[in-house]
Structure 1
Amino acid sequence: MRSTTYYAHGLNIKSELFFPEFPLKQTSEIDVIIRFGITNLFNDSSKNFREIYLSKFIQIKITSCNLLYLFWNDIQIFTIKNNEIIINPNTGLDLNYIKFLLFGYGFAILLYLKGRLVLHANAVDMDNSAVVISGVSGIGKSTLSFAFHQKGYKLLCDDVLSINIGKKFQIVYPSFPRIKLWPDVIKNFEEDPEMVPKIHDKTSKRFYNVSGNFSDIKKQIRAIYFIKVTGDIKIKEINPQKAMMELIKSSYCYKLLNHHEISENLSQCSAIVNKVPVKILEVKKSYESLNKLVEIVENDILKN
């Protein structure tokens, strides 16, 4: 099967699955291979494995040799190593839904295997650095990121954010130039959601193309904001212990970690807290407050 090479998450990706969402890359240096193939957990030479549910429908089985099998609704979807994702060609699922699972859980697990801290978060490029926006699912990370985008700031990533923890700098890698938005969010910005393609047939959510205003270069983190709905609009300082807890809760693969990996995750989160401002962004759930939220983050960044 023909393969194409793309660039996302700081990786050169050679894939048999077509990704119009990803920027193309001309290179012979390949970091990750995505291909179709038949693998079977129960034929694996390692008979011992751990089972973890990441959500109601997503189950992960991890063998003792750190090979991960991702199941959706008891259907085996991916086999994941640190340099390869193998897609089961016999799932019966639409390819757009497989890509949806791949962009989220698939890449989050792959990046975790590569030693990065992976957060459920977005990031925008402000003043040539990464401003990270995190919070629980559905709280408005993408909506607020889109408000920044509409004001001219470049998107860095949506939903799956990976960080390389260095001795001096904490670096965010760009994902790909798409952002997931509900139709009413697109309408609020006076655009027609029917002109934006659905992510897949099981949702009304859209993949909005931001390729004209996307930052494809890794950036140092300037600040991290955790969204909390309080009915107010302000930024609140938090102590290092609270910042650590927020980062741990937002770690995409925390449930997968064994005892040694939990210790490493704590070290990664601690490195961020020691170098990067971590704050709470209190919000109202209203479109009318978006411009005000962008403004107070802008002002806060200018002060740092």
Structure 2
Amino acid sequence: MLDGKCRMVNAYIRAVQRSQERVDALPFHEWKFPDGGLWMQFFRKPLGYLLRFPSVADFEISADGKEVVGFPAPDADDDAAEHLYLNQVLPLALSRQGHLVFHASAVDIGGDAVAFLGESGRGKSTLAGSFSRNGFRVLTDDGLVLVPCEHGYRVMPSEPSIRLWPDSERALVGENLALAVRMQLSSKARFRAGDGFVFCDRPRPLRRIYFLGDRESGGIAFERLTAAEALVQLVKNSFLLDVEEANTLALHFDQVSGLSREVVCYRLAYLRQYGELSHVRTAIIEHAGVRMDVECELQCNRAA
């Protein structure tokens, strides 16, 4: 749901701590870390869904996605449970309500939103963090919510924090590592607004979507995708609470099909070295054709 200020709202109750008891049914879906470790399990309940993050928290979601109750596990980090709700559970609940939500980061460049999609480890957060460390505001680190509007789509701002893997943390933050909040379920560190990163708190019109890829040698390559190619990538990177319900899948496919036809999407490939990020930022700004004000342009020139 959206409130009058275009912020995402949901009925969320943080209940008392609860042990994670055995669930009789098998999960109908699982998310795993790149190394194969278990991240989250999806279970069906009589009145909705149970999402389990092992040893951290359980979240019960109503069938319509409008109510969420969180149960932190005993001895779990309170901050971790809250973070999981905002960055993982809420996007899934919103998808159940019919919103378009993607595994993507997005930044505000000159008043327009530019989004970066890709599998875990492709550098979505690193690229967004690099923009943010150089004066550009992050709209979301993950859980990109798109809302149709008269002239396309708007990107909704999410919780003002960003998560970085240790190598990206060292490259972008360096000596200020003490600012990081260590996460219980991941080796990523979490940085909030004011920790050297800046965030946007207003919706922005979506200008471009870039799907991140690797490049073995130097240079930066942009390849425009057909609507069919973009559709495949958008589906792969979608948040969906119930991946087996036919009506939900049909609606989502129609929504994503419309998005792929209306928004120009590109594959972006570059050498995955931190020293290249300033060149990548400049190339993205030029390629997206974003009009920047004088202050923003000066920031970009200093960063390059």
State the TM-score, normalized to the length of structure 1. Answer: 0.79
Q: Are residue 239 (structure 1) and residue 222 (structure 2) matched?
A: no
The runs of 5 or more residues in structure 2 that have no matched partner are: 33-37, 292-304
What is residue 165 of structure 1 aligned with on the other side? Answer: 148
- Please state how far the C-alpha of 1:199 moved relative to its aligned partner: 3.4
Higher RCO, 1 or 2 (CA under 8 Å, sep at least 6)?
2
After TM superposition, the runs of 4+ consecutive aligned structure 1 residues lying more than 6 A away are 38-42, 47-50
Q: Are residue 287 (structure 1) and residue 278 (structure 2) matched?
A: no
In structure 2, C-alpha distance between the alignment counterparts of 1:40 and 1:73, rounded to whole Å? 10
Q: C-alpha deviations, 1:6-44, integer Å up to 9, x for none? A: x998234xxxxxxxxxxxxxxxxxx423321589999xx
Moved more, 172-181 or 212-221: 212-221
What is residue 25 of structure 1 aligned with on the other side? Answer: none
Relative distance call for 1:289 and 1:9 in structure 2 (3 A) is: farther
What is residue 11 of structure 1 aligned with on the other side? Answer: 8
In structure 2, C-alpha distance between the alignment counterparts of 1:189 and 1:74, rounded to whole Å? 30
What is residue 108 of structure 1 aligned with on the other side? Answer: 91
Q: C-alpha deviations, 1:191-229, integer Å up to 9, x for none? A: 324322223245442222334721101112101000001
What is residue 168 of structure 2 aligned with on the other side? Answer: 185
- Please state how far the C-alpha of 1:64 moved relative to its aligned partner: 6.0
Q: Are residue 227 (structure 1) and residue 212 (structure 2) matched?
A: yes
What is residue 36 of structure 1 aligned with on the other side? Answer: 15
Q: SS where residue 217 of structure 1 aligns?
A: coil
In structure 2, C-alpha distance between the alignment counterparts of 1:269 and 1:133, rounded to whole Å? 16
In structure 2, C-alpha distance between the alignment counterparts of 1:276 and 1:188, rounded to whole Å? 32
What is residue 96 of structure 1 aligned with on the other side? Answer: 79
**Do the aligned residues in 1 keep the contact of 2:243 with 2:249 (CA within 8 Å)?**
no
What is residue 218 of structure 1 aligned with on the other side? Answer: 203
Q: Are residue 298 (structure 1) and residue 291 (structure 2) matched?
A: no
What is residue 43 of structure 2 aligned with on the other side? Answer: 61
In structure 2, C-alpha distance between the alignment counterparts of 1:193 and 1:204, rounded to whole Å? 17
Q: C-alpha deviations, 1:144-194, integer Å up to 9, x for none? A: 111111222111000111112346421211012211123432332463243
In structure 2, C-alpha distance between the alignment counterparts of 1:9 and 1:257, rounded to whole Å? 30
**Do the aligned residues in 1 keep the contact of 2:183 with 2:190 (CA within 8 Å)?**
no
In structure 2, C-alpha distance between the alignment counterparts of 1:104 and 1:216, rounded to whole Å? 16
Q: C-alpha deviations, 1:261-286, integer Å up to 9, x for none? A: 11111111112112211110012110
What is residue 35 of structure 2 aligned with on the other side? Answer: none
Q: SS where residue 122 of structure 2 aligns?
A: coil
In structure 1, C-alpha distance between the alignment counterparts of 2:149 and 2:238, rounded to whole Å? 18
2:134 pairs with one of 128, 151, 163: 151
In structure 2, C-alpha distance between the alignment counterparts of 1:278 and 1:102, rounded to whole Å? 29
In structure 2, C-alpha distance between the alignment counterparts of 1:228 and 1:263, rounded to whole Å? 28
1:52 pairs with one of 13, 25, 29: 29
In structure 2, C-alpha distance between the alignment counterparts of 1:303 and 1:153, rounded to whole Å? 13
**Do the aligned residues in 1 keep the contact of 2:155 with 2:203 (CA within 8 Å)?**
yes
In structure 2, C-alpha distance between the alignment counterparts of 1:183 and 1:75, rounded to whole Å? 21
In structure 2, C-alpha distance between the alignment counterparts of 1:244 and 1:173, rounded to whole Å? 21
What is residue 206 of structure 1 aligned with on the other side? Answer: 189
Relative distance call for 1:51 and 1:9 in structure 2 (3 A) is: farther
- Please state how far the C-alpha of 1:96 moved relative to its aligned partner: 2.8
What is residue 265 of structure 2 aligned with on the other side? Answer: 278
- Please state how far the C-alpha of 1:136 moved relative to its aligned partner: 0.5
User: Which letter does structure 1 place at the counterpart of 2:78?
Assistant: L
Matches within 5 A, 1:252-263: 252-253=239-240, 256-263=243-250
Relative distance call for 1:35 and 1:228 in structure 2 (3 A) is: same
User: Which letter does structure 1 place at the counterpart of 2:271?
Assistant: K
Q: Are residue 129 (structure 1) and residue 112 (structure 2) matched?
A: yes
Relative distance call for 1:227 and 1:213 in structure 2 (3 A) is: same
In structure 2, C-alpha distance between the alignment counterparts of 1:245 and 1:204, rounded to whole Å? 30
Moved more, 251-260 or 261-270: 251-260
- Please state how far the C-alpha of 1:303 moved relative to its aligned partner: 7.4
- Please state how far the C-alpha of 1:291 moved relative to its aligned partner: 1.0
Q: SS where residue 289 of structure 2 aligns?
A: helix
